[in-house]
Structure 1
Amino acid sequence: MTTITVHPPKPGAKINPQMWGVFFEDINFGADGGLYAELVKNRSFSFPDPMMGWHKISPSKARGALSVQGDDPYAVQHPRYLRLQSQGTDVFGVANEGFRGIGLKAGEAYRLTLRLRCLSGTPALRVALYGENGAVLEQTELSGLAGAWEERSLELRPAATDPKAKLYLLMVGAGAVDIDFVSLFPVNTWKQRPGGLRADMVQALADLRPGFLRFPGGCIVEGSELDKRYQWKNTIGPAEQRPLLINRWNYEFLHRPAPDYFQSFGLGFYEYFLLCEDIGAAPMPILNCGMACQFNSGELVPLTDLDPFIQDALDLIAFANGPATSEWGAKRAAMGHPEPFNLTMLGIGNEQWGPQYIERLERFVTAFRAQHPEIKLIASAGPEPADERFQYLWPKFRDLGVDIVDEHCYARPDWFFANTHRYDAYDRAGPKVFFGEYAAQSDKMVSVDNRNTLECALGEAAYMTGLERNADVVVMASYAPLFAHKDAWQWTPDLLWVDNLAVVRTPNYYVQQMFCHNRGDTVLPTEVSGTAPGTVFASAARDDVTGEIILKIVHRGAAPGYADIVLDAVTPVHARQIVLSGEPGATNTFADPARIAPLPAPVVIVGPKLSLPLKPNAFTVVRIKTG
């Protein structure tokens, strides 16, 4: 019989209200083709191949030509546009394939906007949505086209649901027309913001109730070379003025190439801050420190040329927190948010290591301590949780007085089960820990065979009990990566899987949700006895508002069991629990999205104890009211 003893009279550390959060990176088509709800790929013909994503539509009777032009564009940041010329013998034009298709829902409204210029004739432009099978789902025409660039818009309502539809733009009549910045969005974006985010994906984030959102990455922060790094100033302002950048996941993996993967930055830093505000998460931006990815070129900015990188970081604080009357605060206000975003923390570098990193980090620390001592600085401890790079960095961070250290680990579930006591011996006076990227790998890191199994989720849950028990050292943690498109992914496993119409919440997602919803405010000492080592893992916390004791239990055993829950010096009067359980190798799929999901279960109170059945392969959260 397992006994779990909780000691409410001996409260421990306070738990950071932002303890459990999420990490977003534009990988697996997480932004363009994912969270950013734009449905048109290469909308401004800015890809290196300007016609990528577009196909000529020319019936046999049509007589026309298409070309990509560059003189007098609509926006200088996107210097190319499409010219259609037709003799009017039949319709002639192009179709856009979207991001592995365009997902449409029957009867819902979709807003098309595009920039047009008529050079000759009086043609109309037919706009149509075609289903995967070739059926016309909706069509209409734009006429009276002007001779100078103008923005035109219209609303489309498809007659049927289709995950792989296409958008057609067809000239009707003779003449020549220039087309640029073709954009199609569902009207029902998150909070119905025009040009906004995909509602069901944001809802999945909101349903987590995360304490923070780390953005925009990941490796895209660094870039494989410095000219491909993420630069936040290129991601604000009107969408058509944000220059395109190749995504480093376009070419990173030979086994998962994505030649159509680019960053439009329609989801930029302003939108990230707004998303944080929407879902109640603290913003945690990560900025380049003057180093490209060390797994790629490792290109360095000379220390003598580092000042612009530091200034970018200082300007970001001004953009996020400055008054609307200041230079950068005015830019934020012009986008619709005069109030500050209340940024309190900032990451410098991602998975950097070595003396070159420390040299550059020191310059950032010096500048921020002088100008923004209120901002907590987060430093990177490299890509592994215990190697020589990690061991080199930690003493340097203590010397520099870094506030928080970002540790990463991708490993098999056994590593997570075996390391639940990792932080028990950490220096309580040193920098705090942000366990910023982790995910149990069912096979091995970078393997295409990795799956979001329940076993992986249980390994993560067991490890998180160790993070909670050490809340005086570990102040934040986030699973990674966050999103993956089922037809366009580069990395697996991932917290949430999407296609063009649906979102699948993995067992790992439900573990994160159960921790987020049941964080607690104060750690309560907890002991597990009477069971084989490595079988049962537990942590406990007190909700200081309700007075409830929140107990989290991971049972790794393959057979059912029982646990006596003993509460030192208090008596339980009511308890409720939710349980996530199933076969270790089980996953959630698009065909069966709720195969593994948390369910309520009864709790029996026997005198001063709780008698709790332990399901095999289960993560349980029990909330206990006491007398």
Structure 2
Amino acid sequence: MEGNGMVDVDMISLFPQNTFKNRPNGLRADLAQKLADLKPGFIRFPGGCIVEGRDLTNRYQWKTTVGDIEERKLIMNRWNVEFRQKLTPDYFQSFGLGFYEYFQLAEDIGAEPLPILNCGMACQYNSGEVVSLDALQPYIQDALDLIEFANAPVTSRWGKLRSDMGHPAPFNLKMLGVGNEQWESQYFDRYKIFEKAILDKYPAIKIVSGSGPSSDGGYFDMAWKELKQLHPGYVDEHYYKPPKWFLDNANRYDNYDRNAPKVFAGEYAAHPKESGNPEGRNNWESAIAEAAFMTGLERNADVVNMASYAPLLAHVEAWQWRPDLIWFDNLRSVATPNYYVQQLFAANKGTNAVPILRNGAVVAGKDSIYASAAIDKNTGELIVKLVNVTDAAVTTVLQLEKVTVPKQNATVTVLKSTDKNAFNTLDNPVLVQPVPAVVMVNGNKIPYVLEPSSVTVIRIKCKNI
């Protein structure tokens, strides 16, 4: 501008030139890259309780988060009044990051999008506000319109908006979540209406339903009883528990009904005791417990089709919840030990789970060792994951059957710490990180020493896979 005068400013949004994939109105490059480096199969958005809102007026509505940035409707964040360490709540959502950007992020990092929508219920821990069944149609229409926004041609109303925003091609949405952690009959009364409306119009969409806020108990049992009679693509289970629970429940899914709906372990994290440092709950004790538990997820991949640690991100000066996978300030970010556990499993998932047994039984905590195995038909490798939760080294022998193993240097990755309280910080970001190694393999019998308190991944080239 030149000359003298007065300017009224309505909305200003300042972005660095270096955004992820150099997209205008893009994402912070280091944070998005850390998500991409996890090699995720999917990304669930915008989250869990954030979908519900403290009340329905303040719920997350996807239609107010798309279109021109300056027209998106600002609301108070659902967590705004729950920052114990902040005297002045100032946590709002401008929706510069909205559903279009979430879909774009999923595409950019090679992940399937999994949006979660409000089911006509606010957070039951807060207001517990519920829409009457005869007033539920606008919420159902939001779900149907979202599928149109994601998948329909540009000749449709919502497909045209997607195109106008810069993405004429469909996002190829396959999954949609209805509700988050709702419970009791009021949820299932509403879920049934959503399910029928969605599947009548879009029968190929897989719906994610919820099992409530707990890993067991009356709400959980009721949910599964109801959902076995319905048709969800996945049942979302959540559990935030102490590390010992994760160690004790590594065989949780061994005896699940193989004919029941598939499980989505949608929110989980081991919660150790409080620490004076915000990042301190993301310590090695929590990470190794999650690794032990995840061997059970992999072993039961026919039941647990998807799993995701939660939450993903936390600012060191504006966190409401701990632990979180990635911590950051305004300039830097740090991957936690828990992040590296997730990354190890995702990067080494293989194509098919195979049995790994000790004396005929699954390896799920006996002598404090946990294990899972998979083959990768694309690379011709056997992938073995071994978790030693003791403070002592453990000598073991891998006996491989039904394959031929040529002489080779097999690749090994070890994540370990001798201090269960160790955690990564912005100033010391690599205290706990994966270390590559090799092991000499000569035949089907492979001696190996598991290091104390460690997660080990071994990849072995095999014939006859």
TM superposition shift of 1:515: 0.8
Q: Which residue is equivalent to 1:134? A: none
Q: Deviation per CA, 1:369-415, whole angstroms, max 9, x where unpaired?
A: 21111000110111110021101110100111222100000011110
DSSP-derived class of the 1:437 partner: strand
Aligned partners of 1:534 and 1:295: how far apart in 2?
40
User: Are 1:533 and 2:366 matched, yes or no?
Assistant: yes
- For structure 1, the residue ranges without an aligned partner over 5 or more in a row are 1-141, 146-174
Q: Which residue is equivalent to 1:622? A: 458
TM superposition shift of 1:460: 0.6
Q: Which residue is equivalent to 2:16? A: 186
DSSP-derived class of the 1:248 partner: coil
Q: Which residue is equivalent to 1:470? A: 300
Give the aligned residue type for 1:584.
Answer: K
Provide the aligned C-alpha RMSD in A. Answer: 1.8
Give the aligned residue type for 2:369.
Answer: V
1:591 to 427, 437, 440: 427
1:375 to 200, 205, 211: 205
Q: How many residues align?
A: 456
TM superposition shift of 1:243: 1.1
Give the aligned residue type for 2:423.
Answer: T
Q: Which residue is equivalent to 1:75? A: none
Give the aligned residue type for 1:495.
Answer: L
> What are the within-5 Å matches in structure 2 for residues 497-512 of structure 1?
497-512=327-342
Give the aligned residue type for 2:332.
Answer: A
Q: Which residue is equivalent to 2:144? A: 314
User: Are 1:577 and 2:400 matched, yes or no?
Assistant: no
Contact 1:571-1:608 within 8 A present in 2 as well: yes
Contact 2:401-2:444 within 8 A present in 1 as well: no
DSSP-derived class of the 2:82 partner: coil
> What are the within-5 Å matches in structure 2 for residues 319-468 of structure 1?
319-443=149-273, 451-468=281-298
1:519 to 349, 368, 376: 349
Give the aligned residue type for 1:355.
Answer: S
> What are the within-5 Å matches in structure 2 for residues 75-90 of structure 1?
none
Aligned partners of 1:604 and 1:525: how far apart in 2?
23
Judged with a 3 Å threshold, the aligned counterparts in structure 2 of structure 1 residues 423 and 496 are, in CA distance, closer, same or farther, namely same
Aligned partners of 2:190 and 2:426: how far apart in 1?
45
Give the aligned residue type for 1:551.
Answer: V
Judged with a 3 Å threshold, the aligned counterparts in structure 2 of structure 1 residues 534 and 265 are, in CA distance, closer, same or farther, namely farther
User: Are 1:210 and 2:34 matched, yes or no?
Assistant: no
Aligned partners of 1:496 and 1:379: how far apart in 2?
27
TM superposition shift of 1:180: 2.6
Question: Once structures 1 and 2 are overlaid, which stretch shifts more, 568-577 or 275-284?
Answer: 568-577
User: Are 1:143 and 2:2 matched, yes or no?
Assistant: yes
TM superposition shift of 1:256: 4.9
Q: Deviation per CA, 1:217-241, whole angstroms, max 9, x where unpaired?
A: 1111000100010000000001000
Q: Which residue is equivalent to 2:395? A: 562
Aligned partners of 1:301 and 1:144: how far apart in 2?
55
Q: Which residue is equivalent to 2:309? A: 479
Give the aligned residue type for 2:245.
Answer: W
Aligned partners of 2:107 and 2:439: how far apart in 1?
37
Q: For CA contacts below 8 A with separation 6 or more, give which structure has more relative contact order.
A: 1
Question: Once structures 1 and 2 are overlaid, which stretch shifts more, 527-536 or 462-471?
Answer: 527-536
Aligned partners of 1:291 and 1:408: how far apart in 2?
18
Q: Deviation per CA, 1:243-276, whole angstroms, max 9, x where unpaired?
A: 1000011102445566110000000000000000
Contact 1:406-1:435 within 8 A present in 2 as well: yes
Aligned partners of 1:378 and 1:313: how far apart in 2?
13
Going by fraction, where is helix more abundant, 1 or 2? 2
Structure label with greater radius of gyration? 1
Contact 1:230-1:288 within 8 A present in 2 as well: yes
* Sequence identity (%): 55
Q: Which residue is equivalent to 2:378? A: 545
Give the aligned residue type for 2:399.
Answer: V
Q: Deviation per CA, 1:127-185, whole angstroms, max 9, x where unpaired?
A: xxxxxxxxxxxxxxx5336xxxxxxxxxxxxxxxxxxxxxxxxxxxxx54322312221
Give the aligned residue type for 1:562.
Answer: T
DSSP-derived class of the 2:432 partner: coil
Aligned partners of 1:463 and 1:177: how far apart in 2?
58
Q: Deviation per CA, 1:55-74, whole angstroms, max 9, x where unpaired?
A: xxxxxxxxxxxxxxxxxxxx
DSSP-derived class of the 2:40 partner: coil
Contact 2:208-2:236 within 8 A present in 1 as well: yes
Aligned partners of 1:346 and 1:298: how far apart in 2?
23
Aligned partners of 1:557 and 1:178: how far apart in 2?
64
Give the TM-score normalised by structure 2: 0.95
Give the aligned residue type for 2:398.
Answer: I
Q: Deviation per CA, 1:323-375, whole angstroms, max 9, x where unpaired?
A: 01111100000000000000000000000000000000000111122111100
Going by fraction, where is strand more abundant, 1 or 2? 1
TM superposition shift of 1:306: 0.4
2:57 to 227, 232, 235: 227
TM superposition shift of 1:591: 1.4
TM superposition shift of 1:604: 2.9
User: Are 1:298 and 2:131 matched, yes or no?
Assistant: no
Aligned partners of 1:329 and 1:611: how far apart in 2?
58
Give the aligned residue type for 2:121.
Answer: M
Aligned partners of 1:572 and 1:422: how far apart in 2?
32
Contact 1:333-1:339 within 8 A present in 2 as well: yes
TM superposition shift of 1:571: 3.4
Q: Deviation per CA, 1:537-565, whole angstroms, max 9, x where unpaired?
A: 00001101112111111111101122211
User: Are 1:493 and 2:287 matched, yes or no?
Assistant: no
Contact 2:385-2:458 within 8 A present in 1 as well: yes
TM superposition shift of 1:444: 6.6
> What are the within-5 Å matches in structure 2 for residues 101-180 of structure 1?
142-144=1-3, 176-180=6-10
Contact 1:242-1:264 within 8 A present in 2 as well: yes
Aligned partners of 1:610 and 1:534: how far apart in 2?
20
TM superposition shift of 1:511: 0.5
Contact 1:528-1:537 within 8 A present in 2 as well: no
Contact 2:279-2:425 within 8 A present in 1 as well: no
Aligned partners of 2:403 and 2:265: how far apart in 1?
33
DSSP-derived class of the 1:392 partner: helix
TM superposition shift of 1:601: 1.8
Judged with a 3 Å threshold, the aligned counterparts in structure 2 of structure 1 residues 314 and 261 are, in CA distance, closer, same or farther, namely same
Give the aligned residue type for 1:518.
Answer: N
Contact 2:284-2:338 within 8 A present in 1 as well: yes
User: Are 1:603 and 2:439 matched, yes or no?
Assistant: yes
Judged with a 3 Å threshold, the aligned counterparts in structure 2 of structure 1 residues 449 and 202 are, in CA distance, closer, same or farther, namely closer
